[in-house]
């Protein structure tokens, strides 16, 4: 890193707008709700917000199906509200990152509505169309790893199918078409000119598809097509063009790419400064550690989790900057996923927060994780609303006749609904999120886990997050210090040092219930811990952080 930019040591807070705060009593979170909570976010200590999509959308996929990139979804607010949010956030030194969903649009976008009508449509070539095979089969054998179905649909008036890597209501844009690319660049400029500070670029590493769209070999499990569209080489050509057309003109705006399935070398190929493509990447290795095909929950192994994090902390050289997150709108709740959301709820939530926030890289906290919000325990499949939960159920129970109970348990553990149910503000009816029954059912633990309760408790998870963020923001060593793993031989311990000049910060975390003997004598003074006293041992899920001035 030649020069650090604001995003390198930012603590970003991710908001799923529909579920954060409803300001007008229609049961749906909105921009005015976010504005009303800016002071809360400021006290937390974060310095940027990443908003999941707020654009006009039929919401088949939580807004990741955009029908108008220049306007705000009716339910979420007006353009004026967005302008006010940008202004009010900036007054508080909080930057705003929006979503750029550029791999696909909604089928309700006017480009697609026109394109589907006829082969002569002006917008036909904005999307990817193919005839079926001679024998009447689909254009190729690609299956979507997200929906479990073919990536081809033919609706509309012609004999051609269109490609969609996600649901059939999210047709993929044809990035080979220059007009499409420049439309996207214009959208970016429009929001940058409104004061937006950057984009999180949705599945940006999938915009380039192999020419000819060949069948995947039969040995590829489930015929998932990733080998022909994920990190496909000419993606770099497009991103480089985007850089020269847009990003170079806005040097203080961040381009954060969602790049699932990357290796450290590939991550560097997107973000190395000399490449002139993106600034940050998001990788999901640790998030997918217990996710099998077709939504199957695998056993969570803390050691694999630790090794994955450490691999990325130590990968490559100073040119590669990490982005660190343990939760997101696409995953289970971090305390339920990696910790213990029962007897050790508070301890393990604090332990995970400490491991996360002291690592090297740009930090992202998913809304509600600062309270230790847990996976939701809906008891009925009908309570789940996410399209992926529903298709997992359909594919495995209805089509493959798998045991209903097993499938339901998998959905409970891994559903994206776990991250998307309403934020818990207080113990009023509907969790203080709304005055009416919200669009998604509230969780049954909001009277125990909520902002209002934790705000006044100095030992709460929320107070602990504030202290951690304060420490992070005040210790340069946590920002830029080198990373070194310690106690690597103990599979239950996640321990590391951060060192810069003469300051050494040491984190020692016990990821298990069992007590651990550890010698911490030489680590200096304990500056934060999730237990009150130090007793020479690490108890269940205990974490201690030490600071030492080296001579
Ligand atoms: C990304 C988003 C996810 C969405 C998908 C399709 O993975 O994070 O929420 O469903 O892209 O846009
Ligand atoms: Ca509302």
Closest residue to atom 7 of ligand 1, CA basis: 203
What confidence category does residue 1 fall into, taking pLDDT thresholds of 50, 70 and 90?
low
**Is there an atom of ligand 1 within 6 Å of 14 CB?**
no
pLDDT at 316 over 80: no
Q: Ligand 1: which of 330, 390, 391, 415 to mutate, judged by most atoms within 8 Å of the beta carbon?
A: 330
The residues near 381 (Cβ < 8 Å, ≥ 6 apart) are 389, 393, 408, 411
**Band of the pLDDT at 104, cuts 50, 70, 90?**
very high
Mean pLDDT of 339-352: 98
For ligand 1, mutation pick of 19, 62, 64 (most atoms within 8 Å of CB): 64
What number is the average pLDDT over the span 52-64? Answer: 98
Write out the residues surrounding ion ligand 2, Cβ under 5 A.
22, 24, 26, 28, 30
- Cα separation, 279 vs 283, in Å, equals 13
Task: Compute the distance from residue 203 Cα to the ligand 1 centre, in Å.
Answer: 7
Ligand 1 close to Cβ of residue 284 (< 6 A): no
CB burial class (10 A; 0-12, 13-18, 19+) of residue 72?
buried
Give CA–CA dist 163/126, Å, rounded.
11
pLDDT by residue (tens digit) across 470-505? 999 999 999 999 999 999 999 999 999 999 999 999
- Per-residue model confidence as pLDDT tens digits over 154-166: 988 899 999 999 9
Q: pLDDT band at residue 355, thresholds of 50, 70 and 90?
A: very high
Number of the ligand 1 atom closest to the C-alpha atom of 103: 12
Q: What percent of the chain has pLDDT over 90?
A: 96
Length of the chain in terms of residues written? 551
Cα gap 521→523, rounded to integer Å: 6
Q: How far is the CA of 479 from the centre of ligand 1 (A)?
A: 29
Nearest ligand by distance to the CA of 105: 1
Contact (Cβ atoms closer than 8 angstroms) between residue 284 and residue 260: yes
Question: Is residue 306 over pLDDT 70?
Answer: yes
Query: Would you say the CB of residue 230 lies under 6 angstroms from ligand 1?
Result: no
- pLDDT (tens digit, 9 = 90+) per residue, 208-245? 999 999 999 999 999 999 999 999 999 999 999 999 99
330 lines ligand 1 (CB under 6 A): yes
Check pocket membership of 166 for ligand 1, CB cut-off 6 A: yes
Interval between CA 541 and ligand 1 midpoint (Å) = 32
Q: What is the pLDDT of residue 319?
A: 86
> Cα dist. 449→42, 94, 414 in Å?
20, 26, 21
Q: How many A from CA of 413 to the centre of ligand 1?
A: 19
CA of 514 to the centre of ligand 1 (A): 37
Question: Mean pLDDT over residues 370-374, rounded?
Answer: 98
- Name the pTM for this structure: 0.98
The answer to whether the CB of 235 falls within 8 A of the CB of 242 is no
Please tell me if the CB atom of residue 64 comes closer than 6 angstroms to any atom of ligand 1.
yes
**Residue with CA closest to ligand 1 atom 6:** 64
Residue 225 CA to its chain's centroid (Å): 22
């Amino acid at each position: 890193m030649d020069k650090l930019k604001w995003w390198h040591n930012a603590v970003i807070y991710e908001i799923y707008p529909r579920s954060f705060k409803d300001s007008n009593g229609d049961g749906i979170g909105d921009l005015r709700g976010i504005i009303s909570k800016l002071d809360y976010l400021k006290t937390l200590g974060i310095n940027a917000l990443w908003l999941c999509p707020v654009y006009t959308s039929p919401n088949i996929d939580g807004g990741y199906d955009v029908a108008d990139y220049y306007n705000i979804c009716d339910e979420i607010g007006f353009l004026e509200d967005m302008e006010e949010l940008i202004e009010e956030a900036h007054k508080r030194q909080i930057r705003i990152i929006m979503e750029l969903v550029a791999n696909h649009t909604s089928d309700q976008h006017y480009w697609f509505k026109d394109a589907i009508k006829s082969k002569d449509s002006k917008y036909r070539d904005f999307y990817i169309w193919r005839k079926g095979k001679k024998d009447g089969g689909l254009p190729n054998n690609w299956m979507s790893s997200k929906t479990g179905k073919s990536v081809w649909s033919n609706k509309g008036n012609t004999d051609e199918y269109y490609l969609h890597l996600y649901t059939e209501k999210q047709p993929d844009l044809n990035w080979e078409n220059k007009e499409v690319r420049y439309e996207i660049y214009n959208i970016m400029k429009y929001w940058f000119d409104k004061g937006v500070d950057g984009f999180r670029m949705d599945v940006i590493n999938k915009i380039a598809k192999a020419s000819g769209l060949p069948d995947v070999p039969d040995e590829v499990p489930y015929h998932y097509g990733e080998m022909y569209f994920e990190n496909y080489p000419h993606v770099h050509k497009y991103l480089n063009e985007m850089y020269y057309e847009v990003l170079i003109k806005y040097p203080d705006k961040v381009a954060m790419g969602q790049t699932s399935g990357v290796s450290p070398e590939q991550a560097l190929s997107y973000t190395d400064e000399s490449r002139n493509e993106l600034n940050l990447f998001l990788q999901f290795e640790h998030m997918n550690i217990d996710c099998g095909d077709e939504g199957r929950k695998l056993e969570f192994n803390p050691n694999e989790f630790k090794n994955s994090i450490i691999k990325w902390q130590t990968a490559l050289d100073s040119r590669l900057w990490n982005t660190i997150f343990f939760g997101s709108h696409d995953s289970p709740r971090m305390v339920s996923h990696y910790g213990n959301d029962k007897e050790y709820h508070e301890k393990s939530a604090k332990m995970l927060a400490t491991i996360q926030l002291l690592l090297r890289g740009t930090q992202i906290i998913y809304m509600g994780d600062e309270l230790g919000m847990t996976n939701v325990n809906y008891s009925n499949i009908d309570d789940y609303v996410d399209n992926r939960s529903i298709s997992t159920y359909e594919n495995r129970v209805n089509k493959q006749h798998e045991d209903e109970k097993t499938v339901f348990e998998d959905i409970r553990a891994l559903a994206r609904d776990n991250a998307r149910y309403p934020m818990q503000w207080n113990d009023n009816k509907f969790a203080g999120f709304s005055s009416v029954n919200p669009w998604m059912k509230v969780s049954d633990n909001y009277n125990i886990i909520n902002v209002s309760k934790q705000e006044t408790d100095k030992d709460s998870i929320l107070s602990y997050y504030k202290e951690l963020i304060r420490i992070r923001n005040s210790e340069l060593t946590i920002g830029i210090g080198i990373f070194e793993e310690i106690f690597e031989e103990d599979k239950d311990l996640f321990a590391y040092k951060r060192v810069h000049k003469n300051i050494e910060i040491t984190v020692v975390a016990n990821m298990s219930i069992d007590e651990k003997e550890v010698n911490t004598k030489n680590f200096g003074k304990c500056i934060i811990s999730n237990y009150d006293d130090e007793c020479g041992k690490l108890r269940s899920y205990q974490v201690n952080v030490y600071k030492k001035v080296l001579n």
